[in-house]
Amino acid sequence: MMPKISIRHNKFLDPIFVGWIKAQPQWKDWKRPSDELIKSQISMYNEEWDKYGERILRGICEATGLNFKRNQIDVYVVSGSLRPFSRPIVIKSGYEPDYFVNVLTHELIHCLYSDNDEEVNKPLHYPHENHTVSVHVYLNAILKYIYIDVLGEPERYELDKKMVADSKLGYNIAWDIVDKIGHLKLIEDFKEKMHEQKKTSR
């Protein structure tokens, strides 16, 4: 049974994010989108997710050998945010619907890791001195599997790479490693590490 993904505006979190953004000098000219626009975007996000959601969730579980442990996962859309995150899932409005699906898929993999924290605590870290790179190599391998092998839409993979091409945190490096080693090989490596961890923890 896959979890229900509930995508909606969070009117309580939104003012906190609006206040934070307005306090950032580099975002001094940012204007909050209207409630009507946010509502319209969320409607499009739900429509777009409905097209792909079931296949994406099943693909994530298939790639990792893990299962979600929640019946419902709430996805909160707010006016604006520096970047999305997964505890809880908060994503800014303004994304195009197709890219919103990419962003949500990324955060759902983080959620799956959280649901299986003891099992994946060590395996999810790919050897690298940069923490962001370390936790995103296997995640990006799973994303590439979803985009290419499950959805058959390699343009999603190309878009993800393009969006982080100038990242100072290392997201682009994680993609480079996936492309160099191969996403299917990395997924097998991830599963083997989980298997080894299970054996040593008995």
**Mean confidence (pLDDT) of the chain:** 94
Q: Are 79 and 20 in contact (CB under 8 A)?
A: no
The SS3 assignment for 54 reads: helix
Q: Which residues pair with 5 in a beta bridge?
A: 73
Whole-prediction pTM value?
Answer: 0.95
Q: Which sign does the torsion angle of CA 9, 12, 18, 24 carry?
A: negative
H or E segment at 92?
strand 89-92
Question: Cα–Cα distance between 172 and 58 in angstroms, integer?
Answer: 26
118: burial class by Cβ within 10 Å (0-12, 13-18, 19+)?
Answer: exposed
Binned at pLDDT 50, 70 and 90, residue 201 comes out as low
Q: Which of 86, 199, 104, 120 is nearest to 160 (CA)?
A: 104
Instruction: Give, as one character, the DSSP assignment of residue 164.
Output: T
pLDDT of residue 114: 94
Q: What is the pLDDT of residue 194?
A: 87
The per-residue pLDDT for range 119-132, each reduced to its tens digit, is 888 888 999 999 99
More confident site: 85 or 1: 85
